[in-house]
Chains A and B, each alone.
Chain A
């Protein structure tokens, strides 16, 4: 199966266009046509033509940037669809599928009927499909790309043997244009001249050397559901069912050495309404008896209505979790992760945070705050000068002059200055817009007051004013 216009068909399926259409991809600093539809080909455009030329040829060309990263999943979806014909389906390049239909064609009433069915379904889906059927993988490829399923292999050009461009040109110069010419020629001189690759491709196409198809395995699906004969409504019953679903799901996770990072419990009610309980975990986990208690809070909040008759349990996000040696060592990281999860379900996982060092001399930007579940503790803290324990938004005090005052009022307290240390001049980071630093340079002073409090004051010389921004321990 070859989808010659996979990329443009994918886009046009979502948004059909009448007339020429092309996808462009930026390569070597130039926009080039990546894929195009039949209408565009009819007006004389071709692949890897530069986009500017194409626009000159065809002013009403509709174009869109190509997304090769989306084409691959689309092909994967087609591969999954193709398993309806036979179980052995593998990829062939970036735009083809290879099906090993041995022993499966009779289920569709013969090969020709199967091909007709494939064609009909692809047309209905808006995909251009070229089919090639052969005794070998090479022959099927040759027929899909260079002929149809009835052409004999020997009539096809040598390019149909999946050879490189250079080799094809060299063969044509020797007068070997068709596969038939190659099979008729002596093997030894050809092998000496072109290397073993040519003979291998020829033998693969003719069936002298086997070439297996490698079917892709289905990615494991971590979901399980249960339909109930009678609706249930009690929290204990729902938890009971959850426990029964959780065990096989966790067994499956264990078999794949995976752990769930996020779980979703969907409860379908008798009246077709759906309720979901989502659980996000601080660390991948697959122990049923540890996961189950975490659901108690969410399940308790469910409105069962007239009863629940179907429960589906899905691990929406999984991460590798290899099996580990059990030792006498205290499992403290696990315990901490469990705690973070439990707190996170109550206040939101992003509200359990830790500080990470950041590279900035602006005091409030010298650290970043990251969710603890998605970060690791980092060392490398340093403070070139003493920094306050607590920072607050700057609070203006009514003081004038560029030297620290002898007395000032702050938060309704009259404070007498005992000692000042400073100034430490900090300039705003002009490359980052920060409204708080609009007032320009700041001269920071550590002010020890007679009353005891040790405050961090700053003066803005460009925009005279005094502010209190922090307090030391």
Chain B
């Protein structure tokens, strides 16, 4: 075990507004849906063959609030993201990144988010983040012995510009539409095998 300085969950989630954050891992889409409450623009490149399903989003997020942009390539995707972040008409912008962002692109998104007062979230493939991101998370789904309809996920903050790192097990409470922090990661049985 390594020593972990605990950071309180409520100080890092909900994500700090007017900043751009990043998330990677297999549970990244779920993370984005849980983080973005309220109107959101979801930017996915047109060639991606998988689709978001509104019925799947339904427990996490009202599909009425969702707008989806399908740009041709990442250049257009970044332009759309910058435009939407700067405008501020939609409080959340989710961008699916397919190739690594460099510092300049990350910084431009960060400035746009600051100008518009909006929260940006980039879903990145593992290890393709930009140094300009405010926080970077890794979300990994975890097998839950106890419940059938569980959305138990291991959330780990792996980069934090204004604080320390931390890790939690969270589960979405569908009835109350809120996120429950289950218990600290070290104390759970069966968590040793997950990526930590």
Asked whether, in the complex, the Cβ of B58 is within 8 Å of the Cβ of A473, the reply is no
Interface residues of B (CB under 8 A from A): 26-27, 29-30, 33-34, 39, 46, 49-60, 62-72, 76, 79-80, 83-84, 87-90, 140-145, 148-151, 153-154, 172, 194
Using Cβ atoms and an 8 Å threshold, which residues of chain B touch A393?
49-50
A449: interface (CB < 8 Å): yes
Using Cβ atoms and an 8 Å threshold, which residues of chain B touch A389?
29-30, 33, 52-53, 56-57, 60
Taken residue by residue from 362 to 398, chain A's Cβ proximity to chain B (1 for < 8 Å, 0 otherwise) reads as 0110110100100001110111001111111100000
**Complex CA distance for A214 and B144, rounded to whole angstroms:** 79
Closest-by-CB residue of B relative to A367 is: B54
A472: interface (CB < 8 Å): yes
What is the distance, in angstroms, from B38's C-beta to the closest C-beta of chain A?
12
What is the distance, in angstroms, from B195's C-beta to the closest C-beta of chain A?
9
Asked whether, in the complex, the Cβ of B140 is within 8 Å of the Cβ of A452, the reply is yes
Using Cβ atoms and an 8 Å threshold, which residues of chain A touch B53?
363-364, 366-367, 387-391, 470
**Interface size counted on chain A using CB atoms at 8 A:** 50
**Complex CA distance for A363 and B150, rounded to whole angstroms:** 21
Contact A473 B69, CB 8 Å, known A339-B83, A347-B80: no
Asked whether, in the complex, the Cβ of A379 is within 8 Å of the Cβ of B56, the reply is no
What is the distance, in angstroms, from A349's C-beta to the closest C-beta of chain B?
11
Asked whether, in the complex, the Cβ of A343 is within 8 Å of the Cβ of B56, the reply is no
Using Cβ atoms and an 8 Å threshold, which residues of chain B touch A343?
69, 80, 83-84
What is the distance, in angstroms, from A51's C-beta to the closest C-beta of chain B?
50
Closest-by-CB residue of B relative to A448 is: B143
Using Cβ atoms and an 8 Å threshold, which residues of chain A touch B80?
343, 346-347
A454: interface (CB < 8 Å): yes
Using Cβ atoms and an 8 Å threshold, which residues of chain B touch A378?
64
Contact A386 B59, CB 8 Å, known A338-B89, A343-B83, A448-B144: yes
A50: interface (CB < 8 Å): no
- Of the candidates A336, A388, A450, A451, the one whose C-beta lies within 8 Å of that of B56 is A388
Contact A342 B54, CB 8 Å, known A347-B70, A473-B30: no
Asked whether, in the complex, the Cβ of B90 is within 8 Å of the Cβ of A473, the reply is no
A332: interface (CB < 8 Å): yes
Contact A351 B69, CB 8 Å, known A339-B87, A388-B53, A452-B140: yes
What is the distance, in angstroms, from A294's C-beta to the closest C-beta of chain B?
12
Given contacts A352-B67, A379-B64, 7 further A-B contacts (CB under 8 A): A336-B89, A339-B83, A347-B71, A363-B53, A372-B67, A393-B49, A452-B26
Using Cβ atoms and an 8 Å threshold, which residues of chain B touch A364?
51, 53
What is the distance, in angstroms, from A471's C-beta to the closest C-beta of chain B?
8
Asked whether, in the complex, the Cβ of B55 is within 8 Å of the Cβ of A367, the reply is yes
Taken residue by residue from 83 to 105, chain A's Cβ proximity to chain B (1 for < 8 Å, 0 otherwise) reads as 00000000000000000000000
- Of the candidates B63, B72, B76, B154, the one whose C-beta lies within 8 Å of that of A355 is B63
**Complex CA distance for A454 and B84, rounded to whole angstroms:** 32
A/B interface sample: 9 pairs, CB < 8 A: A339-B83, A346-B83, A347-B71, A347-B76, A353-B68, A355-B66, A389-B52, A418-B143, A418-B145
Closest-by-CB residue of B relative to A332 is: B89
A335: interface (CB < 8 Å): yes
A55: interface (CB < 8 Å): no
A354: interface (CB < 8 Å): yes
Closest-by-CB residue of B relative to A358 is: B54
Closest-by-CB residue of B relative to A345 is: B83
Closest-by-CB residue of B relative to A369 is: B68
Q: Which of B30, B55, B140, B154 has the most CB of A within 10 A?
A: B55
Asked whether, in the complex, the Cβ of A452 is within 8 Å of the Cβ of B57, the reply is no
Asked whether, in the complex, the Cβ of B55 is within 8 Å of the Cβ of A453, the reply is no
Asked whether, in the complex, the Cβ of B55 is within 8 Å of the Cβ of A473, the reply is no
**Complex CA distance for A355 and B50, rounded to whole angstroms:** 15
Using Cβ atoms and an 8 Å threshold, which residues of chain A touch B33?
389, 473
Closest-by-CB residue of A relative to B50 is: A392
Using Cβ atoms and an 8 Å threshold, which residues of chain B touch A414?
none
Using Cβ atoms and an 8 Å threshold, which residues of chain A touch B58?
381-383, 387
What is the distance, in angstroms, from A364's C-beta to the closest C-beta of chain B?
7
**Complex CA distance for A366 and B52, rounded to whole angstroms:** 12
**Complex CA distance for A448 and B190, rounded to whole angstroms:** 15
Asked whether, in the complex, the Cβ of B66 is within 8 Å of the Cβ of A354, the reply is yes
Asked whether, in the complex, the Cβ of B52 is within 8 Å of the Cβ of A390, the reply is yes
Taken residue by residue from 411 to 448, chain A's Cβ proximity to chain B (1 for < 8 Å, 0 otherwise) reads as 00000001101000000000000000000000000001
Asked whether, in the complex, the Cβ of A366 is within 8 Å of the Cβ of B55, the reply is yes
Asked whether, in the complex, the Cβ of A449 is within 8 Å of the Cβ of B143, the reply is yes
What is the distance, in angstroms, from A35's C-beta to the closest C-beta of chain B?
49
Using Cβ atoms and an 8 Å threshold, which residues of chain A touch B64?
377-379, 381
A233: interface (CB < 8 Å): no
Taken residue by residue from 447 to 471, chain A's Cβ proximity to chain B (1 for < 8 Å, 0 otherwise) reads as 0111111100000000000000011
